[in-house]
A and B are shown apart, each in its own frame.
Chain A
Amino acid sequence: MLPQWLLRDEQYFPERDRDIFIDRSIRTLLTLLSRLRQREGGSEEKVRVNPGVRLGSTLLLILLLSLSRDFLFVAYAGALLLAILSVYRAELILRVLKTSLPIATFTLFVMLPSALWGNTSGLIMITLKVFFSVVAVKMFVSTAEWGSILGGLRIFMPRLFILVLDVTTRYLVLLGELSVSLLVALKLRSVGRNSRKQSSLAGVTGTLFLRSRQMAEEMYAAMECRCFTGSYPRGSTAKISAVDLVPLGVGALTVAVFAWTGMR
């Protein structure tokens, strides 16, 4: 029943081939997936402040940071952010720094030559501003549940965007895992010289696309089964409570510092 070649031991000695793209893609996707999973696990650190207020104050801080030309304000914002960050759990601190430090380092690298012709202030200010802006965003997203971030975004965006955003984040994990599996399957069978690397990768991504389409159809069917009519009700947003006075106060102080440093 079995063909002859299957009964023999395969005497196979592989050839060299440069298929580093498979390993690199797997590595990037695995990093992405582990960060996405961290997100799910990160929700235990719930900050009781209203997400809308926190999103608003984060955006305000980033805007003022970008507008300010005064080192004192940048120093103030940095002190404020670092002081809040120091209250966080060590794991969260690490997560915030892991994203923000590489971006700041990259910026330093881009700006460095310009310091040679005297732009040292730009070098320091812009690098610090970039660093603090990313820290602010990461601090917000690593302590808020995704649902409440969406709730906060509702104020700024059409509801269709919010629904799409919600679907995106849910399917990112699913499709990410599918891509890793497909790439591993490609790797396991890439035992020699592949003369059609592009079409192999297109197979992986094309399959990913077709599967995405299928999932989208199934999801729409599921939505319709639960009486989806094409409109998306506004979810309940958290009420503003006494705790929210703290960030509002800090926000007011920040605006005051900004105005004062701007007027000097």
Chain B
Amino acid sequence: MHIPDNYLSPATCAVMGAVMVPVWAVAVRKVRTEVSNARVPLLGIGAAFSFLLMMFNVPLPGGTTGHAVGGTLLAVLLGPWSACISISIALLVQALMFGDGGILAFGANCFNMAFVIPFLGYVLFSVIRDVSKGRRAEYAGLAAGSYISISVAALCAAIELGVQPLLFRGPSGLPLYFPWPISVSIPAMVLPHLAVAGVAEAIFTVAIFTFIKRVSPGTISAAPKPRFRGVYALLVALVCLSPLGLLASGTAWGEWGIGEIGKMVGYVPEGMRRGFSFRALFPDYAVTGMSGVIGYVISAITGAAVLVITFKLIGLARRENRRKALT
């Protein structure tokens, strides 16, 4: 679910970042005031834990494996605000160190995984647990919360990606960023999450919660008491409303009117309807300048750099071989 850079337009990234900034600001304030200083190291170590959770392969029925995010679990164990900070930090480390997820798309990725998952999962968990009390309700709440929240997060990612070809296109009508419309992106993203990743998330969340509850019940009771408050309703509303914000921002930029949004789901790319076509390679992008002196200079620099890099890598491979031969 980690969206790389250039899949989303900078405008979308800006909107998603703008949504996250107040969330982070509130989260930092909440953690500072409501929670004692002792929690600060826990946030960092929680982030490391959440990073590692994403690395585990969860066994699924049928012998296959899947990955989990563990957002709902962290929200239940640490509280949703702390979970939000911890997962954001884990995502930042992934983006910076491993190139998993883009830098500009950081806001969007945080929105999907550090905001939607912990808050939605937490709200569902606490509502189900409060409605029908008892142990079973607790586990049902956890399973439902984790399964639904990760699927909704995938849906958010699919919408963010899917609106790109609607909103951001060049003069010749070709998409400038992610090319697939919502009618493709939603099934492509959401179905695997409903079928595999959601199951992995639910199994994993319930199993770890059970283990911790059995081994160290104090940890669970020390976790912040789930309370369903207005603020969470507001957050859920925000989750639902932000795709609309996306559309609004896009129409302000691009050449699409409100009327076009209605066509969103049934959208078929122009070229797709017409079938395969040999268009000019770069109809939307100015490449004419490439023939001039500047184009020559750029090609020369690129060519020289690629040659140097290739020779260095060959040299490295040779050194490795020699080292192996010696030992």
Contact = CB atoms under 8 A, between A and B. Distances in A.
Contacts of A78: 302
A104 B261 CA distance: 31
B257 interface: no
Contacts of A204: 56
Interface string B189-203: 000000000000001
Interface stretch (A5-13, A15-23, A43-51, A246-254): A15-23
A81 B268 CA distance: 37
Contacts of B283: 121
B97 A35 contact: yes
Chain B interface category by residue count: 35 or more
Interface in A123-161: 124-126, 129-130, 133-134, 137-138, 141, 149, 158, 160-161
B123 to A, nearest CB: 22
B305 interface: yes
A79 B305 contact: yes
A175 B86 CA distance: 15
A119 B174 contact: yes
A36 B301 CA distance: 32
B316 A90 contact: yes
B309 A85 contact: yes
Contact of B179 (A35, A85, A119): A119
A171 interface: yes
Contacts of B272: 117
Nearest to A64: B10
Q: Is the interface of B mostly helix, strand, loop or mixed?
A: helix
B208 A129 contact: no
A117 B52 CA distance: 41
Contact of B281 (A62, A69, A121): A121
B274 interface: yes
Interface in B295-326: 295, 298-299, 301-302, 304-306, 308-309, 312-313, 315-316
24 contacts: A21-B57, A21-B58, A28-B55, A66-B10, A69-B170, A69-B285, A71-B282, A72-B286, A75-B302, A82-B309, A83-B305, A117-B270, A120-B281, A122-B175, A126-B6, A134-B99, A141-B96, A158-B28, A172-B93, A198-B203, A198-B204, A199-B207, A207-B211, A216-B44
Given A86-B305, A161-B89, 19 more contacts: A28-B55, A63-B10, A69-B284, A70-B286, A72-B294, A75-B302, A114-B269, A118-B271, A125-B282, A130-B4, A133-B5, A141-B96, A165-B89, A168-B89, A169-B48, A175-B45, A206-B211, A207-B211, A209-B49
Interface of A: 18-21, 24-25, 28-29, 32, 35-36, 39, 59, 62-63, 65-67, 69-72, 75-76, 78-80, 82-83, 85-86, 88-91, 93-94, 97, 99-100, 103, 107, 111, 114, 116-122, 124-126, 129-130, 133-134, 137-138, 141, 149, 158, 160-161, 163-172, 174-176, 179, 197-199, 201-210, 212-213, 215-217, 219-220, 223, 228, 230, 261, 264
- 6 residue pairs, one from A and one from B, having the closest CB atoms: A167-B44, A117-B271, A202-B207, A206-B211, A82-B305, A18-B63
Interface of B: 4-7, 9-10, 13, 24-25, 28, 31-32, 37-38, 40-49, 51-53, 55-59, 63, 65, 77, 85-86, 88-90, 92-93, 95-99, 102-104, 170, 174-180, 203-204, 207-208, 210-212, 215-216, 219, 269-272, 274-279, 281-287, 289-290, 294-295, 298-299, 301-302, 304-306, 308-309, 312-313, 315-316
